[in-house]
Amino acid sequence: MLTVLKHPLITHKLTQIRRKETGTKDFREGIGEIAGLMAYEITRDLPVKKTDINTPICQFSTYELYGDVVLIPVLRAGLGMVEGITNLIPDAKVGHIGMFRDHETLKPMTYFSKLPENLEDSIVMVLDPMLATGGSASAAIQVIKESGAKKIKLVCIVGAPEGVKRIEKDHPEVQVYLAALDEKLNETGYIVPGLGDAGDRLFGTK
């Protein structure tokens, strides 16, 4: 269940953050803006309920969102996507899962998890700019499922075919959204062409 969101604005902003000379400020802004643009499409099937309002002119039957939306950024890099989405869904709850890839084995390690209650009835969006081997996202989704979530969307900016396959195999019911499906992984598990280490570029740690 993969959707690659093609839009000239997304492509343009992605080109900017792929450039190696793009610094932390512009990288951070770009990640946030792309997440916001993706949110428009990802939220297309959010449930709405009927409501009666009064406009300045007359009474009117219309619709508004109902139900909880929960954003779960995978630390650290997923944090960069939160604000772009909460700008559009200010009532969204935010949980956190800390994962890092062991750089030798590429295996994900969970170091933090704090999730909102009642995930059963919520639309849960797992946020991580990078879907490389898919190990981190798959492990994060497993933790989130074990906490009760039933409707899960994985929202990544750049993905590799290997990561998409891994999610399709481990969590076939999860909808995966990407801004770009890149070519492959290199021998050290980085996405090619990719955009490098998203966490380090977001937080200026290298």
Continuous segment of H or E residues that includes residue 72: strand 69-75
Q: In angstroms, what is the minimal distance from the CB of 176 to ligand PRP?
A: 12
d(CA 179, CA 85): 15
Q: Binding segment for ligand PRP among 12-20, 34-42, 47-55, 133-141 (CB under 6 A)? A: 133-141
Residue 108 contacts residue 97 (beta carbons within 8 Å): no
**Residue 70 vs 137, nearer CB to ligand PRP:** 137
132, 144, 155, 156: which one contacts ligand URA (CB under 6 A)? 132
Q: In angstroms, what is the minimal distance from the CB of 183 to ligand URA?
A: 12
d(CA 178, CA 167): 13
Q: In angstroms, what is the minimal distance from the CB of 105 to ligand PRP?
A: 11
d(CA 164, CA 181): 9
The pattern of x and - marking residues 113 through 132 that bind ligand PRP according to CB under 6 A reads ---------------xxxxx
Q: What ranges in 20-108 are assigned the alpha helix state H?
A: 24-42, 79-86
Q: Using alpha carbons only, give the angle 18, 103, 24 rounded to the nearest 5 degrees.
A: 30
Contact partner at residue 131 from ligand PRP, ligand URA, none, CB < 5 to 8 Å by partner kind: ligand PRP
What residues make contact with ligand PRP under the rule CB under 6 A?
74, 76-77, 99-101, 106, 108, 128-137, 163, 189, 197-199
